[in-house]
Chain A
Amino acid sequence: MRLEMGTFPVHDVTFGASTRYDAGRLTIDRDAVLAAVRQDPRIATAELEIAHPGESVRIWPVRDVIEPRVKVEGRGVCYPGICDREITTVGTGRTHRLAGLGVVEVSSVNWHDAGGDFVETYLDMSGPYGEMYPYARLFNVCLVVEPDAGLGEEVKNYAVHKAALTVADRLAEAVRGLTPPETEVFELGPVDPSLPKVVYIWCVHSPQAMSGSPTAFCTATYGLTQLTPPWYLHPNEILDGALTGPYRTAYAMSWTVANNPLFLDLYRRHGRDWNFLGVISLRTEWTTQTEKQLMANQTAKLAKQLGADGAVVTWDAGGNEFIEVVRSIQACERLGIKTVFLTSEDDATEGAPTMLEPLPEADAIVSTSFFKNVTLAVPEAPAVARVIGVPTKKILRGSAIGLHAGADASLPTAGPLPPPWRYDDHYGFGSLSCTE
């Protein structure tokens, strides 16, 4: 599987008479893009706004950030399977991407109506809170979109996400026929047989158990979100968007998945430091201990059958999902696969272990610090000059857990705001850690 990735860096974005890319300047025909979005009768309102890096802007509520990618040569479409896009296996030919740009899905639609899960992420384009995330360095094209209020929650989710993908598609089309300024070839070519063989065990949340629906909207594999046994994915499939966000944290957006630095560095060092065998993607939030252990066993078995000597493991969730993740590490180690785990940590109150289930086999852990912003002592985000999206935000003053405690106040979005409750750098973008 050989994939050429053509990168078009974006240095400026403006609205104009047509959608085109010229030497780093992206011009967007706002009316044409919005007309395409509004073709879907499920969409009630849609607006498009641009947020610039460093600008005093707050975007709320943020459901997803998508990097525009388009399949130029070869089979299938980028971001396959999502919102009824075709499911042809991707990863070959040529793909073009707009780098340094995000399409932000801004909508008040919640993930599902079964309780407990709320959209809580807002993004700042400047200031100490904004700078904690990669998005403040992007040009963000924000689609502020609301669906027909009469629709069911799941339909609303897919409608607004499809709308955001429509915007991403329109922008990516601008570079379909152009020659990319940068091209990189991705291929798992033959390597020195003495190099150690490694897999990436990439754990992603499934919304099935929480929502009660196997088709609830969330992080998707070819559009599927349900609980499934571990998948083998060629890394090129992921580069073409076969694995996408979002989940409820700021670091589990489609943009973050597509630009996961651990994944990209692992791939780029294929043939130099190791023989990269590919990705095993494990869905998490199985319900029973038996299911969790079974998934762990099968994940390790798959890694062993692929011939892995080593594995690196990440996850994007919290709570009980830790069990299938850490048991996978234990199962790998027991099969002789040397495993490294990149994770955030829970509260360390009164010396309690920060790992939900500490296991001695998990002896190589890289910490991305505490997962809660309150534990990290992140200060309030300062007031901003402009808001993109909803002008008010429900909050609970002093809450360590955001809206889970119910909302007792509705604040102007533009004013100083407490940070969302989770930080949770799933893929090691930043250098924060913990020590003792």
Chain B
Amino acid sequence: MARMKSPVRVVHYVNQFFGGVGGEDKADVGVSVTPGAVGPGRVLETALGAGARIEATIVCGDNFANDRAEEFARAVATELDRLKPDVVVAGPAFGSGRYGLACAQVCRIAQDRGLAAVTAMHPENPGASAARRGITILPTGTSTTSMPAALAALAPLAQRLGRRETLGPAEVEGYLPQGRRRVYDRGRPGFQRALDMLLDKLHGRPYRSEVPYSAPERVPPAAPIADLTRARIAMVTTGGLVRKGNPDKQVSANAVRYHRHSVAELESLSPKEWEAYHAGYFNHLVNSNPNYILPLSFLRDLERQGAIGAVHEHIYALPGVSTPVAVSAGHGRSIAADLKQGGVDGALLVAT
């Protein structure tokens, strides 16, 4: 005989507006808990059906959740520890940025405590772009007009997550891709899939890209150097500069580390002492004059003329070829920290 499943216990998170506290004027209110379902939670409970029930609703103002993030996190964590739900549902937040960020934060707090969690918002909501990689987010429209569809999609996913089911791929289940790509045999050759997709696209029929668009991270630039004549300038190259003969055994692609060399005693890079080892460009050019990828001789001129304060004693080199972005970012952070510690004001990054 099949064992009766106990209903999935859900905790719902909503902001001050959907929690019935008030509008923008109440956005500063702190975390509170109401037993049972509130506002859209009632519709969600209907959609969940008999297999699940909303135990409690956590409500918080959007300003509070974002401006006092640590206090918010502590309060939510305390409530979740007390309520011990099977799954946390946050939102839907639609296009509302601060609400979206709060929903993503609630999901993260829940997951950190080993709880299942799901939210829903517009794909361009800052909450989605900031957190997509770790949490399950269902896409919605920008406004509450998409509420019924959003709740109808959330309910079955919440049920399954609450029962500790492993979800299928994003493109099948409909949640936003999390950047965790894995090999998948589609059982039909790539050329046929490409021509199927071409025909669908030509005829205006729906098609689904196998590589969904994932916006690259944007890095805000540092403030300009106020006075170059007093600035310490360093040089970093991804041109694969090595000492002649490559005694440090630098690789020519897919760098697992970078190399730091002292140029304190050098006026210029000589082809007798330096060369390139890089799998992505014509190395002979640099082998004839290594200053092409590390312009030490030119910086020394500027140093003598007083145009710059000083040339930093260490240079950093690695081959910028075929290195996974995450590994590159790690090299970058490490080099930047080293430069900062060395009192460097500006760095010349020479690519190829």
Residues of A within 8 A of B177 (CB): 436
Residues of B within 8 A of A367 (CB): 190, 210-211
A41-49, A72-80, A298-306, A401-409: which lies at the interface: A401-409
Number of residues of chain A lying within 8 A (CB) of chain B: 71
Q: Is B201 an interface residue (CB 8 A)?
A: yes
Residues of B within 8 A of A149 (CB): none
| Chain B residues numbered 223-272 whose CB sits less than 8 Å from any CB in chain A | 246, 249, 251-254
Interface contact A366-B279, CB-CB below 8 Å? no
* Distance, CA A269 to CA B209, complexed state (A): 22
Q: Is B280 an interface residue (CB 8 A)?
A: yes
Interface contact B282-A433, CB-CB below 8 Å? no
Residues of A within 8 A of B249 (CB): 406
* Distance, CA A354 to CA B213, complexed state (A): 10
- A 160-177 binary contact with B (CB < 8 Å = 1; else 0): 000000000000000000
* Distance, CA A418 to CA B326, complexed state (A): 25
Residues of A within 8 A of B251 (CB): 401, 404-406
Interface contact B181-A434, CB-CB below 8 Å? yes
Interface contact B195-A116, CB-CB below 8 Å? no
Interface contact A318-B322, CB-CB below 8 Å? yes
When the two chains form the complex, which single residue of B133, B170, B246, B276 contacts A351, counting CB atoms closer than 8 Å? B133
When the two chains form the complex, which single residue of B170, B193, B253, B281 contacts A401, counting CB atoms closer than 8 Å? B253
Interface contact A350-B326, CB-CB below 8 Å? yes
Interface contact A428-B191, CB-CB below 8 Å? yes
Interface contact A432-B183, CB-CB below 8 Å? yes
Known: A345-B181, A351-B178, A377-B183. A198 touches B202 (CB 8 A): yes
- B 56-90 binary contact with A (CB < 8 Å = 1; else 0): 00000000000000000000000000000000000
* Distance, CA A343 to CA B193, complexed state (A): 12
Q: Is B198 an interface residue (CB 8 A)?
A: yes
Interface contact A342-B191, CB-CB below 8 Å? yes
Residues of A within 8 A of B93 (CB): none
Known: A351-B179, A364-B197, A377-B183. A434 touches B254 (CB 8 A): no
* Distance, CA A83 to CA B199, complexed state (A): 39
Interface contact B197-A366, CB-CB below 8 Å? yes
Nearest-Cβ distance from residue B189 to partner chain A, whole angstroms = 5
Residues of B within 8 A of A405 (CB): 251-254
Interface contact A262-B191, CB-CB below 8 Å? yes
* Distance, CA A369 to CA B182, complexed state (A): 8
| Chain A residues numbered 334-368 whose CB sits less than 8 Å from any CB in chain B | 338-340, 342-343, 345-355, 357-360, 362-368
Interface contact A435-B181, CB-CB below 8 Å? yes
Interface contact A349-B210, CB-CB below 8 Å? no
Residues of B within 8 A of A209 (CB): 281-282
Interface contact B190-A428, CB-CB below 8 Å? yes
Sort chain B's interface into a size bin: 35 or more
Q: Is B297 an interface residue (CB 8 A)?
A: no
Residues of B within 8 A of A369 (CB): 183-184
Known: A116-B278, A364-B201. A434 touches B211 (CB 8 A): yes
Known: A274-B202, A401-B254, A405-B252. A376 touches B190 (CB 8 A): no
When the two chains form the complex, which single residue of A342, A346, A350, A364 contacts B190, counting CB atoms closer than 8 Å? A342
- A 317-341 binary contact with B (CB < 8 Å = 1; else 0): 0111000000000000000001110
Known: A360-B213, A436-B170. A310 touches B322 (CB 8 A): no
Interface contact B214-A358, CB-CB below 8 Å? yes
* Distance, CA A312 to CA B207, complexed state (A): 14
Interface contact A346-B324, CB-CB below 8 Å? yes
Q: Is A146 an interface residue (CB 8 A)?
A: no
Q: Is B321 an interface residue (CB 8 A)?
A: yes
Known: A116-B283, A318-B322, A353-B216. A365 touches B209 (CB 8 A): yes
* Distance, CA A340 to CA B187, complexed state (A): 19
Interface contact A353-B327, CB-CB below 8 Å? no
Q: Is A379 an interface residue (CB 8 A)?
A: no
30 contacts between A and B (CB under 8 A): A115-B252, A116-B278, A196-B203, A210-B281, A262-B191, A262-B194, A265-B195, A269-B195, A309-B202, A310-B202, A342-B191, A350-B325, A351-B180, A351-B326, A352-B325, A360-B213, A364-B197, A364-B198, A367-B190, A367-B210, A401-B253, A401-B322, A404-B252, A428-B189, A428-B193, A428-B194, A430-B190, A435-B170, A435-B182, A435-B184
Residues of A within 8 A of B (CB): 114-117, 196, 198, 209-212, 260-262, 265-266, 269, 273-274, 309-310, 312, 318-320, 338-340, 342-343, 345-355, 357-360, 362-370, 376-377, 400-401, 404-406, 425, 427-436
